[in-house]
Structure 1
Amino acid sequence: MFSFIARKSMVRAVALLLAAVVSAGCAASSGYPLMKIDVIDTQKLPGAVNETSGLFCTAGGAVTVNDSGNDAVLYFLNENGNITKKAQLDFPNKDIEAITANDRYFYIADIGNNRGNRNYVSVRQLDRQTYKKIKTFRLTYKGNTPSANTPYNHDYDAEALTVREDKLVLFSKSWDTEHARVYQIASSPKSQELTAVQVIKGLPGIITGADWDKANQRFIVVGYNSNLLGVLRPFIAVLASDYRVVSVSPLERFGQVEGICAKANGEIWLTQEKSPLQDARLIRLKIK
């Protein structure tokens, strides 16, 4: 959520500002090849999804969810950003930050933990036809001590979840180290302690959205960093199947990007949350 800027420590903010000045751009600071992208279209989203926090592509468009402070609702969008259908869910929204799916199930990730004080986070499995809850995964992180965490300055927060084959893949935000951790969630048991299977170094900011692009056998992620003035510098990156960073590109015209998904036609769709400086938007682009 946008209010994190005002809450972080001055030391942390100064460090981010200095890093931004030295790097002179997020793609350059990453040290990875610059990705070329072509923005196809961008549409303002309706007020009902101003706090869009996750995105999953469907055959007819995409599905998004709002984060904390909103009801748990699935919003179905077309390519113009219009809401074509809504589905009320039968559980509360503590801090829903991501949505993904396979052929049978939606997975709704209530995993937001900016303050670091949650003892566990949840992923709910829903039937894709009825939207009814089938199962809840209760997740903890190995090594996490919530009482010892400093808000917006710890590594046990996440906003990005995707499905790859038979596993859910979760990417951490990692405020403290800035090295994203990758976790895999098994189909059982319901309660799991997560241990990182990989660490991603060198991205120019925190990850806020991810998708497994099956057609191209790659992960695509979005996120942002910020400076002392609260100006966000969003980016998009491609990761290989083993989580190696392949390429990175800044998203120059945009702000607080939160969701990303890959369409079957090769398009990449993003959603951007409303902020004091920008509207909530649906962004369609292609990676050249």
Structure 2
Amino acid sequence: MKKLFLILATLTFTFSFSQQTDFPKIRKYRISYLNEKIQETSGLSILNEKLFTFNDSGNTPEIFELDKTSGEIINVLKINGKNKDWEALTNDGNNFYIGDFGNNSGTRRDLEIYKVPFENNSLKNDSLKIISFEYPEQTEFIPKNLSTDFDAEAMIYLNGKIHIFTKEWSAKSTTHYSIDPEISEKQKAEKIESFKTNFIVTDASYFDKKLYLIGYTKKTEVFLEIFNEAESGMFFKEKPEHYYLGSALSIGQIEGIAVDETGVYISGEKFHSPLGGAKQSLYFIPKGKLKH
């Protein structure tokens, strides 16, 4: 994922550099640079007031607990599974859900979500379950690197269901699907609604009846949109709040977001191109400080 984005960023940013005049939107809210062990932080989740992250595809199958004020690693939780392409992390208050459904080329037929109980600050790997699914609208699996609309890196848990928000490379939209975590056999994800974001969505968070979607464009612009829950489990009926957060060249490749009553946590992967770059970072925007 990362290398593909870097190539696109290098090619496109040259033509848009003059328009990028406001790099440090959230840079001032950086808590710290993250440990070298998590250069590819690909999601965030808050459980029992603790902050967790993980690395994406090809890395070791483990979750890192981070200190909220320093970004330091407090604990490492190992998963009895394979990190084929982990891209999203959420929880229901008792279990972690890890989305192994990264699909940049659109060819995967083994989309999965790990469900792992979390008790006494440790994972119960002996109770790990795998939730398998497919997109019923996807009828072909021909490689379409960075042009498929059946990729995903964002999910939340709400009302007993897992809600996935797709990363649509071609349409620059997101489609909201739901999955039943209690079904053991492979299931068809249920399409709920769609929204034209004009950026690719890389993570999601839900708090206080609001959905937070974060992502970026090929020009390295990072955006956040906040949707009101107009109806139970429905978010795209009203126009969202729209925020420009800066450029990946100064804040990193933004891949994680988690929200609680204090504010918004955001994480970014290490980013490098001939035009600039940024180290892997953790940010915290206090409640009320988001600005358009």
TM-score range, shorter chain: 0.7 to 0.9
TM-score under structure 1 length normalisation? 0.84
Match of 1:236 among 209, 215, 224: 224
Give the aligned partner of residue 271 of structure 1.
Answer: 267
Give the partner amino acid of 1:260.
I
**Would you say 1:74 and 2:68 are equivalent positions?**
no
Alpha-carbon distance in 2 for matches of 1:124, 1:164: 16
| Equivalent pair of 1:223/1:236 in contact (CA under 8 Å) | yes
TM-score (norm 2): 0.83
Please show how residues 175-186 of structure 1 align to structure 2 within 5 Å: 175-186=169-180
User: Hey, what does 2:158 align to over in structure 1?
Assistant: 164
Contact 2:204 2:212 in 1 (8 A): yes
Q: Does structure 1 retain, via aligned residues, the 8 Å contact 2:67–2:74?
A: yes
CA distance in 1, matches of 2:28, 2:159: 29
Which residue of structure 1 aligns with residue 195 of structure 2?
200
5+ residue gaps in structure 2?
A: none
Q: Secondary structure at the match of 1:115?
A: coil
User: What's the offset of the Cα at 1:221?
Assistant: 1.4
Q: Helix, strand or coil: the match of 2:215?
A: strand
- In 1, Cα distance between the equivalents of 2:2 and 2:62? 21
CA deviations 1:111-147 (Å, max 9, x no partner) are 1011111113100110112332432111111121453
Q: CA RMSD in A?
A: 2.7
Counterparts of 1:125-164 in structure 2, within 5 Å, are 125-129=115-119, 130-132=123-125, 133-164=127-158
In structure 2, the CA distance between the partners of 1:54 and 1:37, relative to structure 1 (3 Å rule), is closer
**2:217 maps to which residue?**
225
Task: Give me the whole-angstrom Cα distance separating, in 1, the residues matched to 2:215 and 2:88.
Answer: 13
Give CA deviations for 1:27-66 in whole Å, capped at 9, x if unaligned: xxxxxxxxx9896443100001111111101344311111
Query: Is contact 2:39-2:280 (8 Å) kept?
Result: yes
Instruction: Assess, with a 3 A threshold, how the Cα gap between structure 1 residues 163 and 116 changes in structure 2: closer, same or farther.
Output: same
Look up the match of 1:30: none
Query: How far apart, CA to CA, are the structure 2 residues paired with 1:40 and 1:3?
Result: 26
Match in the other structure for 2:98: 108
In structure 2, what is the Cα distance between the partners aligned to 1:38 and 1:243? Answer: 28
Which residue of 1 is the match for residue 111 of structure 2? Answer: 121
Change (3 A) 1:262 1:5: closer
CA displacement, residues 93-120 of structure 1 (integer Å, 9 cap, x when unaligned): 0000111101221101101011111113
Which secondary structure does the structure 1 equivalent of 2:191 belong to?
coil
Percent of residue pairs identical:
24
Amino acid at match of 1:198: E
How many residues are paired up? 266
Displacement after TM superposition at 1:260 (Å) = 0.6
Check conservation: 1:173, 1:180, Cα contact below 8 A: yes
Q: Distance in 2 between matches of 1:115 and 1:90?
A: 26
Unpaired runs of 5+ in structure 1?
A: 26-35
Partner of 2:79: 89
Partner of residue 63, structure 1: 52
In structure 1, what is the Cα distance between the partners aligned to 2:225 and 2:161? 21
Task: Identify the residue that residue 281 of structure 1 maps to in structure 2.
Answer: 281
Q: Separation in 2 of the partners of 1:138 and 1:182?
A: 17
> Would you say the 8 A contact 1:38–1:285 is kept in 2?
no
